[in-house]
Amino acid sequence: MAWTLLVLAGLLEVVWAVSMKLSEGFTRLWPSVTTVAFMIASFLCLALALRELPVGTAYAVWTGIGAVGTAVLGMVLFGESRDAIRLGCILLIVAGIVGLKVTSPS
């Protein structure tokens, strides 16, 4: 259950990061509200996952999922760079997330 909550926390982080971009510096109401709501939900899921998972592993996986998801959505939604080096770096983050999961005692 802790890993499910952790993955959910990471996915929620992606939503709040993209919403923050859409809020245009918190000048647009609904994207700003969405950002704050999803931040709270993401932190809550992370906090619950931390009851069972080591903090270093959980935090690294949470930020990794958020970074990869946000980078991919940045490419899809905002036309951000898709060059090979950038994609390779994203794959390295994914490899790190998988490595942490595989080597985790939980």
Number of domains observed in the structure of the chain: 1
d(CA 37, CA 93): 26
pTM of the model: 0.92
Percentage of residues in the chain having pLDDT higher than 70: 99
Q: Give the position of tokens 């909550």.
A: 5
The band of 104, judged by pLDDT with boundaries at 50, 70 and 90, is confident
Question: Radius of gyration (Cα) for the chain, nearest Å?
Answer: 15
- Beta carbons of 69 and 10 less than 8 angstroms apart: yes
d(CA 87, CA 45): 28
Opening angle at CA 45, ends 39 and 49, nearest 5: 140
Each residue's pLDDT tens digit, 35-71? 999 999 999 999 999 999 999 999 999 999 999 999 9
For residue 81, the enclosing domain spans: 2-103
